[in-house]
Amino acid sequence: MPSTACLADTDGQPGGISGDTTVGRKIHRLVTDLYPICRSITGDGLRTTLRKIGEQVPLEIHEVPTGTRVFDWTVPKEWNITDAYVKNSAGERVIDFRKSNLHVVGYSLPMHEWLSLTELREHLHASPEHPDWIPYRTSYYRDTWGFCLSHNDMLALKEDTYEVCIAATLRDGFLSYGECYLPGDTRDEVLISCHTCHPSLCNDNLSGIAIAVHLARALSTRRRRYSYRFVFAPATIGAITWLARNEGAVSRIKHGLVLACLGDPGQSTYKKSRRGNAQIDRVVAHVLRHSGSAYEIRDFTPFGYDDRQYCSPGFDLPVGSLMRTPNGCYPEYHTSADDLEFVRPEALADSYSKCMKVIGILEANTTYMNQSPKCEPQLGRRGIYDGVGPGGLLPVEELAILWVLNLSDGNHSLLDIAERADMDFDVVLRASDTLREHDLLVETGRRGGLEEVRHG
Amino acid sequence: MPSTACLADTDGQPGGISGDTTVGRKIHRLVTDLYPICRSITGDGLRTTLRKIGEQVPLEIHEVPTGTRVFDWTVPKEWNITDAYVKNSAGERVIDFRKSNLHVVGYSLPMHEWLSLTELREHLHASPEHPDWIPYRTSYYRDTWGFCLSHNDMLALKEDTYEVCIAATLRDGFLSYGECYLPGDTRDEVLISCHTCHPSLCNDNLSGIAIAVHLARALSTRRRRYSYRFVFAPATIGAITWLARNEGAVSRIKHGLVLACLGDPGQSTYKKSRRGNAQIDRVVAHVLRHSGSAYEIRDFTPFGYDDRQYCSPGFDLPVGSLMRTPNGCYPEYHTSADDLEFVRPEALADSYSKCMKVIGILEANTTYMNQSPKCEPQLGRRGIYDGVGPGGLLPVEELAILWVLNLSDGNHSLLDIAERADMDFDVVLRASDTLREHDLLVETGRRGGLEEVRHG
Amino acid sequence: MPSTACLADTDGQPGGISGDTTVGRKIHRLVTDLYPICRSITGDGLRTTLRKIGEQVPLEIHEVPTGTRVFDWTVPKEWNITDAYVKNSAGERVIDFRKSNLHVVGYSLPMHEWLSLTELREHLHASPEHPDWIPYRTSYYRDTWGFCLSHNDMLALKEDTYEVCIAATLRDGFLSYGECYLPGDTRDEVLISCHTCHPSLCNDNLSGIAIAVHLARALSTRRRRYSYRFVFAPATIGAITWLARNEGAVSRIKHGLVLACLGDPGQSTYKKSRRGNAQIDRVVAHVLRHSGSAYEIRDFTPFGYDDRQYCSPGFDLPVGSLMRTPNGCYPEYHTSADDLEFVRPEALADSYSKCMKVIGILEANTTYMNQSPKCEPQLGRRGIYDGVGPGGLLPVEELAILWVLNLSDGNHSLLDIAERADMDFDVVLRASDTLREHDLLVETGRRGGLEEVRHG
């Protein structure tokens, strides 16, 4: 039973990114709440993040032991850190993990030594292009350690003997990820995936996490044609682990989105699935084209977020990636400048609203058969058509009715019709609702795969 | 036996719209003759129009009784009008049907009353944008009445008691339409359709009617590969009635054109069939591209003339629509300014010539098989190829011969070849005639459907 | 066993046409050596040319008797010429074959007469647009004779009685052509064809002949996946004769190039095969797109060099035509100005290098199957992936590795991948070599047809 219901966005305000909004402030609040936590691809920071997500939406948390084989990979040791610093000979912390978790290279080995500045420097990372920003670095799968600091702070370091300490552990443990599953009328699934391994970085990817949480909250109270699966997992190894443990079930995924970098002030960017013409690709393109703001559609490349895994040739899932400014394309990317100021409530609200519109179309898109296909039915008699007015123009609502009748031959979905007529999907959907009420349309089937009736 | 014969246009002068022509004046004379008649979707004006058409071409006139079900519609009561006026208290006709039949809203109910200006005004229609023109209005299927007048005349009406009279009848009767059928070598049909329900409006659609009549006259004296069916019927209900009564026979229609708005000075416009790639679509595009004048090709939309019915999903016939300036796109549209001055003999001649060229290609297009397909045949020995001349250029006639030989592999029609070679169809046709005379080509079949041999 | 080996061009220097090169000078030397010979479609000049080619590469010379039927054609009589002149009454040679073999219309009948200037003029050919150049004319299959001379020389001729002599023979003999066959790992063939019938004209087509010879020399010392067949034959009748005598074997031709006009200073031009999307079409387009210089790709037309025969509908071979400025598009075309100055060593070297690059891709292109298709394999562990560096960019070599893994699903050749990734083929090839070394790829088959194992 498709309807416009799902499109009604009760706490979002679609369109444009002008002005703050309630939902934007709520999403930003969740970003703010998660910001201080030191996340990595394993460990307690990740676990805490999942627990906080679980306070907002029903979340099943999975713990996968170190050493588990996941395709070509192995779940690594779990890394935890409590403190880290570099002290000068006066005992002052010149680099202090307590001030920013970006100061420590992710997965640094535990250590405690006294080093000369020259020795220390080999383990320091800074970015001369942005001398005030701390860069973000990791060393997964490499046994090393390091500190990151602003270029200016690095220049200020004097010859001295430095006490260097990383109070971390790297031991057998677990990789954690969370799943929020919202069953729908069918077992066909929409996958929403976001990576949860970055420490204090807001756009990449607390923006994605917080929007996913609010999408799940909004969807949880509505009737859903599709089942929705939200995966919160560390990048790469987390997605690979999830796919390895759910290999047999991925054929249920009919549409998917990787959410990342959704809070910056830039325009929306959609990176297509590997298939390039999946329904999700067409739906997102439709939403962006009718959004009234500038946007960019990019072809698939095998370099990006976890669409790399979902779109590997052995899976080739219909999963695209929605962003604003993509990874690597904004200077704040992977630096301390990707902070709470950089992500904006209005941009978060706009991204959220576009996701809801995408979901609305996925839910409502269907194919009808015109029950009066030979010539036009007499619409005037039914009160749903006035024809050309004095100005010689047909109102768009009546034109939409003619389009839906003309193309509802069993071969065109509502989305096909909206694209051919170059009309917003909602206009076409309302026309189809009107015609259905007058028994002029009968639904003949959903696009995008046979629906499987849900058990239980 | 295709040949160039059909392309020779004995009384038209193809190309451009410069200069008056014999055929243009003849067509304009028929427009002039039909102009005064008060037509509607039923009634004696329509009947008179068909009778006058029948004086020019063999025409079978059909009368369909009121109340006949035609798909989702019902043939309405027949409307006839003899007089109508609004008289002021001095007894002067301030609105007079005898001056213009546009003054009465089509299908107005009969009435005779005395009204104040305020009461009268609710039934008056005028157009402030063009204060001197009388707009054209109808009220089929709605029980009401009204008068149309120029905005300036409406402003001049004073407070008074007006005698308002519409001497009309709305009774059980008939809907009339006419068919001119010209049998050809096969029973495959070309449909030419135009609407005949508009009163004193010249471009819409006396231009279409008069051109259709002259096409039928020209074709009647020639050998025809296709059978031709000209349908003269009121818009919408007439086309629906015709389709309902000929439902089983429409599969014979291989190509079709709706003709309307063909006499204004604007450029030619072709609106494609719903299929979008029917042979008629390709042929008209070819003719316009090689016409030497500007033109526009529009994609199908379900809003237009009777292509709405022919291209409804239950029929989906290969019927496009040839116009000059389309309906609603010129200010004179549906006003008294669409008069005998607005349609020009040279524009009518140009439209006619393009129709004849389209028909010529439909008649002549076929597919050949090169009988010497391995390497080029030795054309020089046959005297049909000189090769490159001193200037290093091959004459277009010889290049056409090479194209026809190269692509006559059974998969390419002459039209395909003309399009691939970017040459006028006639050049390619002449090359194929030459090659056929030298036994280098054998016809393998017509494009666009199996030909059915005509009985009798 | 594909590898980059074949791409290493030991005596060419790919890219641009700046600067002379060793291979360019070698090719130009061969052009210079062949320049003085008076070639035609039969005769001793053609025979001498083939013998000189045979000094450079293994060449089988075929002699086909006059009168042999070859499809729609007949091998003509053999024409030989030893001298020709026009002498004035003072006994001075005012036109002298010994100065330029272009002075005599090819296939002129033998004759010896005394003529007035008026009578002589009917047999003279000159080009007023380029008054200093001698045009090139032939009269195959027409029994006539003529002389060509510069327009200025023609104007200088005075009233006189001229002794006109053409010391030629036109007798039963043979049509000669040569084939250089280099067997490869498979019997699938690459055809390289060039016409050998033009007398002292350098670009058309000594450039093609000399480049073909050097390609054959370079390929003769390498391991070859494909077998290569170089055909040196007179235009039209030679190609037709070759096709008639090899009709049953042409299905082995998987890719082919007609080489002509490759030494002028203009940009490279590729004329596609009739198929338009053959692998050779895509490969040449790829090479030109990544060449760093301007180029043009033209659609097939049935007018050109011997692609006219190879691409006739009965053969439709995947044979394109590589040129610089095409025939008829440069003023020197078919005149004495197409001389040793007009063709440049650097242009010849550039054309040669592009041919070698095309052959390198044909040799190396194949399709792999990713052996770790579910998610990405862990490349870092294998030392072949560092990921994003400090600048946020992935090196192109690593991006190529991701592309090859992502698209190696059995449906994409390396060329497909290079095109989709918009990368030079060599970068993709190197990535595939790396991945194959790590057992991450297995070859699943060549594109472009089943390979036939070579006997013996």
Could you report the per-residue pLDDT of B291-332, keeping only the tens digit for each? Answer: 999 999 999 999 999 999 999 999 999 999 999 999 999 999
**Which chains sit next to A, with 3 or more Cβ pairs under 8 A?**
B, C
* Residue C405, token pair as written in the block: 């893994």
Question: Does C308 sit within 8 Å of B394, measured CB to CB?
Answer: no
Question: Does C392 sit within 8 Å of A327, measured CB to CB?
Answer: yes
CB B394 within 8 A of CB B409: no
Write out pLDDT tens, residues B123-136: 999 999 999 999 99
pLDDT given for residue B241 in this prediction:
98
Q: How many CA atoms lie within 13 A of A278 on its CB side?
A: 26
Tell how far CA A277 is from the center of its chain. Answer: 20
Angle separating helix axes B22-34 and B44-56, nearest 10 degrees: 150
pLDDT given for residue C141 in this prediction:
86
**Which chains sit next to C, with 3 or more Cβ pairs under 8 A?**
A, B
Of C240, C313, C333, the CB nearest to B409: C313
Instruction: Report the residue of chain A nearest B125, measured CA to CA.
Output: A390
Query: Is B439 touching C (CB cutoff 8 A)?
Result: no
Write the DSSP string, A342-402: TS-HHHHHHHHHHHHHHHHHHHH--EEEESS-SS---TGGGTS---S-TTS---HHHHHHH
Query: Is A374 touching B (CB cutoff 8 A)?
Result: yes
Q: B–C: how many Cβ contacts below 8 A?
A: 73
CA distance A225 to chain B (A): 29
Where are any strands of DSSP class E within C1-58? none
Question: Does C376 sit within 8 Å of A72, measured CB to CB?
Answer: yes
Sorting pLDDT into bands at 50, 70 and 90, what band is A140?
Answer: very high
Question: Does C390 sit within 8 Å of A72, measured CB to CB?
Answer: no
Proportion of chain A above pLDDT 90, given as a percent: 90
CA distance C427 to chain A (A): 16
Write out pLDDT tens, residues B201-250: 999 999 999 999 999 999 999 999 999 999 999 999 999 999 999 999 99
Question: Does A127 sit within 8 Å of C373, measured CB to CB?
Answer: no
Angle separating helix axes C208-220 and C44-54, nearest 10 degrees: 30
Q: What does each C-alpha distance from A179 to A51, A54, A225, A231, A273 come to in angstroms?
A: 11, 9, 19, 5, 22
Question: Does B409 sit within 8 Å of C333, measured CB to CB?
Answer: no
- Mean pLDDT, rounded, for B334-343: 98
Write out chain C residues lying below 8 Å of A314, CB-based.
Answer: 370, 373-375
In sequence order, which residues have a C-beta less than 8 Å from that of residue B119 and are 6 or more positions away?
A: none
Instruction: Tell me the helices (H) and strands (E) count for chain A, helix number first.
Output: 12, 19
Interface of B with A in 99-128 (CB under 8 A): 125, 127
Angle separating helix axes B22-34 and B207-220, nearest 10 degrees: 130
Choose among B115, B122, B123: nearest CA to B160.
B115
Question: Does A141 sit within 8 Å of C380, measured CB to CB?
Answer: yes
Write out pLDDT tens, residues A32-46: 999 999 999 999 999
The amino acid sitting at B342 is F
Question: Does C313 sit within 8 Å of B406, measured CB to CB?
Answer: yes
Residues of chain C with pLDDT under 70: 1-20, 389-392, 446-456
Residue A165 has pLDDT above 60, yes or no: yes
Residue B421 has pLDDT above 70, yes or no: yes
Sorting pLDDT into bands at 50, 70 and 90, what band is B415?
Answer: very high
ipTM above 0.95, yes or no: no
Residue with tokens 């299929």, as numbered in its chain: B275
Residue B11 has pLDDT above 50, yes or no: no
Residue A10 has pLDDT above 60, yes or no: no
Report d(CA B420, CA B403) in Å as an integer: 9
Query: Is C328 touching B (CB cutoff 8 A)?
Result: yes
CA distance A54 to chain C (A): 27
Query: Is C399 touching A (CB cutoff 8 A)?
Result: yes
Of C70, C240, C303, the CB nearest to B394: C303
* Residue A54, token pair as written in the block: 């679980």
In sequence order, which residues have a C-beta less than 8 Å from that of residue C343 and are 6 or more positions away?
A: C28, C31, C202, C203, C206, C207, C263, C264
Predicted TM-score of the model (pTM): 0.92
Question: Does C239 sit within 8 Å of B378, measured CB to CB?
Answer: no
What HEC string does B169-237 produce? EEECCEEEEEEEEECCCECCEEEEEEECCCCCCHHHHHHHHHHHHHHHHHHHCCCCCCEEEEEEECCCH
* Residue C234, token pair as written in the block: 């007179």
Query: Is A48 touching C (CB cutoff 8 A)?
Result: no
Choose among B379, A333, B131, A117: nearest CA to C389.
A333
Range C279-296 burial, b when 16+ CB lie within 10 A, else e = bbbbbbbbbbebbeeebe
CB A17 within 8 A of CB A347: yes
Question: Does B372 sit within 8 Å of C71, measured CB to CB?
Answer: yes
Residue A8 has pLDDT above 50, yes or no: no
Write out chain A residues lying below 8 Å of C378, CB-based.
Answer: 72-73, 141
Question: Does C373 sit within 8 Å of A312, measured CB to CB?
Answer: yes
Interface of B with C in 85-104 (CB under 8 A): none
Query: Is C295 touching B (CB cutoff 8 A)?
Result: no
Interface of A with B in 134-153 (CB under 8 A): none
CA distance C59 to chain B (A): 25
Residue B454 has pLDDT above 50, yes or no: no
Question: Does A375 sit within 8 Å of B239, measured CB to CB?
Answer: yes
β-pair type (C78-87, B60-65): unpaired
Range A409-429 burial, b when 16+ CB lie within 10 A, else e = beebbbbbbbbbbebbbbbbb
Question: Does A380 sit within 8 Å of B312, measured CB to CB?
Answer: no
**Which chains sit next to B, with 3 or more Cβ pairs under 8 A?**
A, C
Write out chain C residues lying below 8 Å of A328, CB-based.
Answer: 388, 392-393
Question: Does A403 sit within 8 Å of B302, measured CB to CB?
Answer: yes
Q: A–C: how many Cβ contacts below 8 A?
A: 73
Of B370, B377, B402, the CB nearest to C303: B402
Write out chain C residues lying below 8 Å of A243, CB-based.
Answer: 374-375
Query: Is C357 touching B (CB cutoff 8 A)?
Result: no
Query: Is A71 touching C (CB cutoff 8 A)?
Result: yes
Write out pLDDT tens, residues C134-152: 999 999 988 999 999 999 9
Of B125, B243, B333, the CB nearest to A375: B243
Among A76-85, A176-185, A421-430, B439-448, which stretch is predicted with the lowest mean pLDDT? B439-448
Interface of B with C in 249-278 (CB under 8 A): none
Report d(CA A273, CA C192) in Å as an integer: 41
| Percent composition of chain B: helix, strand, coil (DSSP 3-state, to 5) | 30, 25, 45
Question: Does C372 sit within 8 Å of A244, measured CB to CB?
Answer: no
* Residue A203, token pair as written in the block: 């756009």
* Residue B142, token pair as written in the block: 């709605």
Of B398 and A2, the structure prediction assigns the larger pLDDT to B398
Q: Would you call B137 exposed, middle or buried from its count of C-beta atoms within 10 A (0-12, 13-18, 19+)?
A: middle
In sequence order, which residues have a C-beta less than 8 Å from that of residue B12 and are 6 or more positions away?
A: B21, B23, B218, B349, B352, B353, B356
Of A208 and B455, the structure prediction assigns the larger pLDDT to A208
Beta bridge partners of C70: C73
Choose among C333, C275, C406: nearest CA to C134.
C333
In sequence order, which residues have a C-beta less than 8 Å from that of residue A368 and are 6 or more positions away?
A: A404, A408, A414, A432, A435, A436, A441, A442, A443, A444
* Residue B60, token pair as written in the block: 């079978």
Maximum average pLDDT range among A393-397, A444-448, B234-238: B234-238
Report d(CA A216, CA A231) in Å as an integer: 11
Query: Is A388 touching B (CB cutoff 8 A)?
Result: yes
pLDDT given for residue C413 in this prediction:
97
Q: A–B: how many Cβ contacts below 8 A?
A: 73
Q: What does each C-alpha distance from C264 to B299, C53, C237, C329 come to in angstroms?
A: 46, 22, 26, 11
- Mean pLDDT, rounded, for B156-169: 98
Query: Is C309 touching B (CB cutoff 8 A)?
Result: yes
pLDDT given for residue A392 in this prediction:
65
CB B211 within 8 A of CB B259: yes
Sorting pLDDT into bands at 50, 70 and 90, what band is A386?
Answer: confident
Report d(CA C384, CA C380) in Å as an integer: 6
